[in-house]
Amino acid sequence: MFNYLKELSFTRGAWLLLTTSCVALEATALYFQHGMGLNPCVMCIYERLALLAILVAGIIGFLAPKFILTRWIALLLGLYGAVKGLTLAIKHTDYQLNPAPWNQCSPFVEFPETLPLNVWFPSIFEASGNCGKIVWQFWGLSMPQWLIAIFAVYTVLFACLVLSQFKRSRSGIRERNLFS
């Protein structure tokens, strides 16, 4: 399995599939916001950013999957985004399932002063919803519960891909580094 995953990480098609899945999920989030009128909360915005990190990792991996440095940057960024998204979705679900005055998210997104995404792109990164309120369900699961499943799949995928990089390749695919 690790041989297959390592060989897969060398192909642009796999990175393109990852990028496409993230674009579809980001487009779905924007449809929920602008098409269905569901206001995103602070945790929704942070979960979007975690997904955006995975999307950027997919683009980086697509650009040069056979270069060691590029592939490792993509894999580690993707793993970070997946783990961060998973922890955010779990916390968001906790806000919804255990509402209490002491268990609430901040009413305002907190971006660094040098990167105020909510000021630059308010239609995407401005939060006006309530983290503890369940506004959408599908098959009995709320949006953050679905995100737990999605980010768990991404986390397992990236963890296996990272581990596969330590497996020696049997195929003729040759890795290239910056000095070869």
**Catalytic residue check, 131:** yes
CA distance 102 to 137: 25
Catalytic site residue from 44, 168, 170, 176: 44
Judge whether 105 counts as a catalytic residue.
Answer: yes
Q: Among the options 12, 22, 41, 174, which is catalytic?
A: 41
Integer angstrom CA distances of residue 71 from 58, 113, 148: 10, 31, 25
Q: Which of 12, 22, 71, 105 is catalytic?
A: 105
User: Strand, coil or helix: what is 103?
Assistant: strand
Q: Are 52 and 142 in contact (CB under 8 A)?
A: no
Token pair listed for 46: 């942070």
Q: Is 41 a catalytic residue?
A: yes
- Is 59 within 8 Å of 21 (Cβ atoms)? no
Cα–Cα distance for residue pair 47/140, rounded to 1 Å = 20
* Candidate list 131, 168, 170, 176, residue with the active-site label: 131
Per DSSP (E only), the strands in the chain are 137-138, 141-142
Would you give the distance in Å from CA 129 to the centre of its chain?
Answer: 21
Catalytic residues, by residue number, are 41, 44, 48, 105, 131
